[in-house]
Amino acid sequence: MRILYAADTDLIGSLGYCHKNSLENMGHDLICYDYTRQYSKYHLVNFITRRSEAMLSRIVRRIEKEIFLLLDQHKPDLFLTIKGELFRGEFIRSIKTAYKIPVINWFADPVNQLYNPPYLLLSALKEYDYCFVKDSYFLKQVKLLSPQKYLSSA
């Protein structure tokens, strides 16, 4: 299976790195995109300029454009992300509509990560076909939004 995998896959020991190796060992063809590299720039710029919302919005649009280019180029069977904290609901919907592929989020952080950055909203999570979570409070929120499409990794 060809998978477009949006996660930090270069940091040895990270969840993204471990998933990448596991999926490749199972024979999947991975196209990796580290959207977190763009996001790290947001943190730096936020401290320097204090124009965080405008800068974050530009970074999010750039990330979305780059992912659409990868989708067009590689034609994956699945889109999988770790956290996806920058992905807006309309972006997830547009992937599902335009490419007719499942979109999955593996959100492995505790709930205190939910509102930082501001683009991660519970409403965006309902757009995913499946969402893996480990935080029991977060799982309750996901169940309320989309009771038929959740999986707990707890």
Taking residues 26-49, what's their average pLDDT?
Answer: 74
By the 8 A CB rule, do 95 and 72 touch? no
pLDDT at 153 over 60: no
Is the pTM for the entire model greater than 0.75?
yes
By the 8 A CB rule, do 116 and 94 touch? no
Domain locations along the chain: 2-152
Tell me the three-class secondary structure of 89-123, residue by residue: HHHHHHHHHHHCCCEEEEECCCHHHCCCCCCCCHH
| pLDDT tens per residue, range 101-116 | 999 988 776 655 554 4
H or E, element range at 53: helix 52-74
Q: In whole angstroms, what is the distance from residue 29 CA to residue 24 CA?
A: 6
When the candidates are 3.90.1150.10, 3.40.50.2000, 3.30.1330.10, 3.50.50.60, the CATH number that belongs to 2-152 is 3.40.50.2000
